[in-house]
Structure 1
Amino acid sequence: MPTETDPRYCPVLVTGGAGYIGSHAVLALRDAGYPVAVIDNLTTGFRFAVPPEVPFYEGDIEDGELLAHIFSDHGIRAIMHFAGSVVVPESVANPLKYYHNNTVKSRALIAAAVAAAVPHFIFSSTAATYGIPGVERVAEDCPQVPINPYGWSKLMTEQMLADTAAAEAINYCALRYFNVAGADPQGRTGQSTAGATHLIKVAVEAALGKRDSVSVFGTDYDTPDGTGVRDYIHVSDLAAAHVAALEALIADPDASMRLNCGYGRGFSVLQVLDAVDRLTNRPVERRMEARRVGDPASLVSDNARILTTLGWRPRYDDLDVIVRHALAWEGRLDVMQGSERPIRA
């Protein structure tokens, strides 16, 4: 990693760094030698998810004065932006919350970055920007037609970044996530949010007795077993992709990118539940329910571009490994019960 006297020296501000994916990015950046600071309002994040030696600011990305202070104090040269709201059904019920948290606040953050001459910006986007693509594998040039406010709120931020990069001295990478799961292999952080809706998190909770059952929404899709198929990516591989994206932006200040983050293959809901049953020897009760409106039968990435552009190679591309790491973290949360987990700093 370059030292302070090297022009490639790059302190990074991670927004939402006390959350699930953001906390893994903090670890990946530190493991790679990058100086890191974190801002998080702790609405859904946890203070314990940020290593104590990492500068932490409890605050909001809409607070321009606080951002200017952080940029100045730490010489910030890049932003990894994870802060936002992520529950699709909630975005349908409360769209203005999502357009505020995900779009308006992102606009404020981008403006603060431009004012402080921060040259690199990495954005946590989503495959939800594609809507229902209707193709076997979704490539980056597929039409982006979101079907919910969550997807639109993210797509709007992608467009703001593209327009800003065309007008200002900043480059960006928008990483479009498919289904993120798992936990840090060393047990340093994981998915801790109460009431999470991610399938693997829900299934692991059910296997450990924290839920009575797992709902399977739709059993009549045109898939091998009738249930929805998704592309699951290990959160640590996703965090590594962010570090690779940062290095690409530093290497070519004129380049900006929009890249899918997935493994290029999918597993059905029943295959995921079978993996949990197999690894725990504790079958999870399955409740078959009707399809949810707007759920595609299959959503799998074409990941050729990220493989060639960033040279990124996943280390944990194995469903059993993803589930095993999720189980290990869930067990660690049990140990933490009564200590740091319930204390929302």
Structure 2
Amino acid sequence: MTNRAYNFNAGPAALPLEVLQQAQQEFTDFAGAGMSIMEMSHRSSIFEEVNDGAQSLLRELFGIPGHYKILFLQGGASTQFAMIPMNLLTPGKTAAFVHTGSWAEKAYKEAKLFGSTAIAASSESDKFNRIPALSDIHIPADAAYLHITSNETIEGTQYAAYPDTGDVTLIGDMSSDILSRSVDVGKFGLIYAGAQKNLGPSGVTIVIAREDLVAESPKTIPTMLRYDTHVKNNSLYNTPPSFSIYLVGLMLKWVKERGGVAALEQFNRDKTKLIYDAIDTSGGFYRGFADMGSRSLMNITFRLATEELEKQFVKESEQAGFVGLKGHRSVGGLRASTYNAVPMESCKALAEFMAEFMKRNG
């Protein structure tokens, strides 16, 4: 296909053309069943194989230890903001948060509804343009867990390294950078991520959790919000988002074919360098928002001299076939989301467009 947009949407985001084409080919007749995967029972052996296969491949690619459970849930990361304190914030304990921006704040506000909370570190004084130094994170003595947002999609910041929390459970929202780089999963008690940025389409949320954390949930929690409900039923307690899980499986196969997570990490560094270089060599025409040490490989945020010039940039970029370069409504500016499936060609084209736009307006 030659009419594919240069897709820099923040989510739902770009999917590999090969994955979309395979899904298209299998859409009406999956595995010779004479029906779409969307039409078949989630209790069928065919779908159970899809469900188990996706879990197995995720475990292999992300290096998930055997004593961790993988769940495919609904409700997005936003539901996890509530499920985590409901299941893990026990009486007399405090949920600690590193406040790095919009998504960390949402998680923090939800946890406040269920018990004691604390801010262990924050970059609010710098308008969230950086990740706090690990040495500045102060975990309360009564902490049930420390929650971090691995990558802030809106501000365009990302942890370069993760804190060592000792005996305190580390929880990571990796919605916007899961599988974009290698991670020591064993440092975390629980990792969660909406699939619609790096893992597939919207509709399914991945939870990776240490068995001891999710084996037994408090009996006061509604059935669907208990982790143990989904653990005991292999994510099939109720009808799952079957098509989304199927596409996650295809995405994981694509990652493996590309050489795995380590190869994708280098690919992401190479392609985002094209855009960051366009910013850094512009003589101040483009101004990166994130501090150099906290720059994201997934969301590149930048500004121009005036909002009028930014609007012109967005308008002209759309005319040139680019999609999704307007910054989030809460912070303005410009943003290019460069998730795993965004091809090198798109990043190269954007860097060239930025250079041409600067020539005309610099």
TM-score (norm. length: structure 2): 0.28
Structure with the larger RCO, 1 or 2 (CA within 8 Å, 6+ apart): 2
TM-score (norm. length: structure 1): 0.29
